[in-house]
Structure 1
Amino acid sequence: MIPVTARIALNEDELHETFMRSSGAGGQNIQKVETAVQLRFDARRSQNLPDPVRARLEQLAGQRLTNDGVIVITAQRHRTRERNRVDAQERLFALIREAALPPPPKRRPTRPTRGSKERRLEGKSQRSDTKRMRGRPDGD
C-alpha cells in the first residue's frame, strides 16, 4: 500500500505503468531509450477511494480522464526512467490530495452598502461633468 493522505492509501496493483520514448529534441540517447512514463490509474474501480473523493477527482482530472474513468498521466520531464516514474506518481498523488480536501464553503451573496452606492454615483457624476466640460464653448 502506498500512503497518499492520512486516510487514503493506494494498492500498488492499481497503478499501471508503460514506458515509451520521450518526445522533443533528439540526441544520441533519446531515440534508443524509453524514459517517458505513462501512468494509468482506474479511479472508478478503485476500492480505496471514498465516493466523494472519487467524484471530485474525476472533476479535477479534466483532460487526463478517459471515458472509462482511467486517469492517464504522462511524465517525460527528466532524463531517467526512475525520475519520470516518481514524477508521474507524485502528480497523481497531488491530484488525489487536492480531491480529498473539503470543498470550499459556498459564497453567501451580499448587497452593496448605501455608502458604496453613493460613492459610485458621485464618481460617475464627476466623470460626466469632466466630459461635458470638454465640449466647444457656446458662441453667444
Structure 2
Amino acid sequence: MKNETNNVVIEELQERLEPRQAHAAQLMVANEFAGKGDKKTLEEIAEEVGVTRQTLHNWKTSNIAFIEYLKALSTVTLDSQRSFVDAQLMKLIAGGNNGIPSVKGVELYYKLTGALIERQEVISGNAPSSSPKMTRNELASEIQKLSDMLR
C-alpha cells in the first residue's frame, strides 16, 4: 500500500514539472545514491538536461514542486534498499566481520521492533514537590538533632 501511495505522489508531483525538470530530478537523486567514482557534477547533469548549472540550482533551492519531487524520489530509492539494510543489521547482530556481536546493532533492532522504548522524564522546577517543606529553623533543628545522635 505504501509503495502505491508513493507512486501516486510521484506521478502527481511529476505532472507539476516540465519534462526536463523531472529528468533533472531523477538524475540528481540517482547521482546522490551513486558510488564515489560514478558521481556527476551539477554542471554535467545540467548539460545532460539542456539547462545551465544556475537553472538547476534555482530549481533545487526555489521550486517547491521540484524539491518535493526530489524528496519523493529519494524516499522511494531509500525504501528500495530496506531489505539490504535489514540484512546488514542482522549481520552486525550475528557478529559482523570481527565475529563479535554488535550491542548497538541489538539495541537498534529492539528499537525498530518496538521492544525497546526510550523514556525520558522531565522534571519542572515549578512542579509541586511531594516532599514536605522545612523552614530554616526546622532544618537547623533537625541538623542539631542528627549531630547530637552522632556524639
Whether the TM-score (by the shorter chain) exceeds 0.5 is no
Question: Which structure would you say has the larger RCO, counting Cα contacts within 8 Å and 6 or more residues apart?
Answer: 1
More helix by share: 2
What range describes the TM-score normalised by the shorter chain of this pair? under 0.3
More strand by share: 1
Instruction: Determine which structure has more spread, i.e. the larger CA radius of gyration.
Output: 2
TM-score computed with the length of structure 1 as normaliser = 0.22
TM-score computed with the length of structure 2 as normaliser = 0.21
